[in-house]
Structure 1
Amino acid sequence: MAEINRELADFLRRARSQGDPARSGLPADDRVRRVAGLRREEVALLAGVSTDYYTRLEQGRRIQPSAGVIDAIARALDLDSVGRTHLHDLVGAATVRRPRSVPSVQRVRPGLYQLLDAWEGQAVLILGRRMEVLASTRVARALFADFDALVPKERNYARWLFLDDAARALFVEWEVQARAAVESLRFAAARNPDDRLANELVAELSRSTAEFRQWWSEHRVYQRTFGSKNLRHPIVGELTVEYETLTLPGDPDQTLFVYTTEPASASRRAMDLLISWSQPASASRTE
């Protein structure tokens, strides 16, 4: 019996169930819809393929559609750019494929450590492909958690977010941040489906928390490149930080997250206080 691509089947079914017939441009249909979303034959019609072909694809059969067919199905399902990339990754027909074998350990090159040293007064994290915290500035560790003090297995942003009570208390909208982490991890995992450590992380979080298990099963993907986080910090109180992400051209599996605050705001004053508080106690003695 042919192997079934269950991840692809699940993603297509869920994407189709979220389709809006009214926005699809399909002709009016008086038939009663027993379930939400688009029918299989409607997706096939919009994509310009046969219903049988789309059905086999949605069943996860090991067929190899062209990149053009995948893009047509993505348009029929009204997927955004991240959803379209995710679909390519699941099918395996993206124009550029990553090797299926990935190194278990990611290393930060010396120049990036020097960059973090130059940004020592800023909150900056470098995350890896599995959301590992590969490097961080002193201010970032004061703002979120001292990842350097954790054992290597626990230096993971998603793991900390779900399994550390301090993380749940820190984020005012913890659920929003946690869902975002799940959607980002979902997107990254599809690019390297045979990554043993990523699969072990997903299994651990699925066993440990009902929220992760539920949100992972929804198969939503998103890649947030900027945004804000509202924090209730135990030292400096409430503040809002804005973040921008920078993907490294030389290593797309590593991403810089830079956190800032609005000038002349209460959040900036709180951040300045945190920066002062986090200064090493030995600094003045050394001087």
Structure 2
Amino acid sequence: MTSNALGDFLRAHRARLRPGDVGLPSYGRRRVAGLRREEVAVLAGMNTDYYARLEQGREQSPSPQVLDAISGALRMDREAREHLYRLAGTLPDGHRTPPRETVSPMLGQLLSGYTNTPAFVLNPALDLLATNSLADALFSPFETADNLARMTFLAPAGRSFYAQWHRAAEAVVSSLRQATGLEPHYPRLHELVSALTETSEEFATLWHAHTVYGKSHGAKELIHPKVGSLSLAYHSFDVRGAPGQQVVIYHAEPGSPSFQALSLLGSLHATRLRSRMDTSTSTGGPAASSPSSANSTVQSMSSSHRVGS
């Protein structure tokens, strides 16, 4: 993280635009990509020096009207505009409660009820706080399934698990970038971003692009070594009773090859759990789980899996 997040964000958006994108003529040789500061100032109807001070962090309190003008000049979408306002401190979030790190029993029961679809709970840092059995089966190619960002960028399985890895990586970074605006004082998030920036050059490149978009639904193309390709839709929902948590559900079109593949994956996972329980029983060890847990037990993630622990 930098102390001038607002300026970094403005520069990143300015660098993405060309004069033709905003109806300006292109003239002269450009030393850097994107619009010049004076061009943004003209489009926003403000003094060039004032805009330069904003980017440099020397102007700390832009008004909502100024931010409206700049976001329009830089062609920001709704998510980017909201992120800009949060960085500038002009979008009131009220007295935000820190993100909750444990999943309530009621939410755990809800996850257990999704027997035919993978379902899991995330915090703003994309830690997997809880998973149902089919989500465990889906993420089984990962040696440690504890954090979606770490799984995407650092785990060897990530490259083959996501059929369109770069798109998945962009979505992860964008989600984290948006979270820093929503939860600017969340230590877990800062620890994760710092660790990934140091260990993954690809993460660092995407992070410094300052792309922000929030998606509550979409498509996922996955490849599981046991059942092959999976074309899934996903939906995410904020948990109103647990600030910072969201439930994510993956599902396949009923009757589709992906639906059948998920069913097979669930059966294979149940068989493996049953075999583990039988082995444990025959050797006199503690029972691994009951047969019914193959389809309904919520697995809470250990805090020892988290970055910085």
TM-score, normalisation: structure 2: 0.80
**2:105 paired residue number:** 110
Deviations 1:189-213 (A, max 9, x none): 2333332221111121122222112
Structure number with higher relative contact order (C-alpha < 8 Å, ≥ 6 residues apart):
2
- Pair 1:87-2:78 in alignment: no
Residues 85, 91 of structure 2: 8 Å contact kept? yes
SS of corresponding position for 2:71? helix
Distance, in Å, in 1 between the alignment partners of 2:66 and 2:174 is 25
**1:222 paired residue number:** 213
Of 96, 111, 120 in structure 1, the residue corresponding to residue 93 of structure 2 is: 96
Deviation at 1:12, TM superposition (A): 0.7
Deviations 1:96-155 (A, max 9, x none): 3555x836x5222222112112113321111111111111110011012489x95xxx72
Of 241, 251, 266 in structure 2, the residue corresponding to residue 260 of structure 1 is: 251
Residues 141, 224 of structure 2: 8 Å contact kept? no
Question: Which runs of no fewer than 5 residues in structure 1 stay unpaired?
Answer: none
Deviations 1:22-54 (A, max 9, x none): 24245x465554443222222222223222211
Residue 8 of structure 2 aligns with an amino acid whose one-letter code is D
Distance, in Å, in 2 between the alignment partners of 1:206 and 1:23 is 31
Distance, in Å, in 2 between the alignment partners of 1:118 and 1:172 is 28
**1:211 paired residue number:** 202
Q: How many residues align?
A: 274
- Pair 1:10-2:8 in alignment: yes
**1:51 paired residue number:** 48
**1:134 paired residue number:** 129
Of 181, 188, 191 in structure 2, the residue corresponding to residue 190 of structure 1 is: 181
Question: Which runs of no fewer than 5 residues in structure 2 stay unpaired?
Answer: 275-289, 293-309
Q: Indicate the larger mover: 105-114 or 118-127.
A: 105-114
Deviations 1:220-273 (A, max 9, x none): 222222222222211112221111111233445111111011232211111111
Residues 174, 211 of structure 2: 8 Å contact kept? yes
Residues 141, 225 of structure 2: 8 Å contact kept? no
- Pair 1:40-2:48 in alignment: no
Structure 1 vs Structure 2 CA RMSD? 2.5
Map of 1:142-181 to 2, 5 A cutoff?
142-145=137-140, 155-181=146-172
Distance, in Å, in 1 between the alignment partners of 2:198 and 2:50 is 36
Residues 231, 239 of structure 1: 8 Å contact kept? yes
Of 276, 279, 282 in structure 1, the residue corresponding to residue 267 of structure 2 is: 276
Residues 19, 26 of structure 2: 8 Å contact kept? no
User: Aligned in 2, Cα 1:175/1:25: closer, same or farther, shift over 3 Å?
Assistant: closer
Residues 5, 61 of structure 1: 8 Å contact kept? no
TM-score, normalisation: structure 1: 0.86
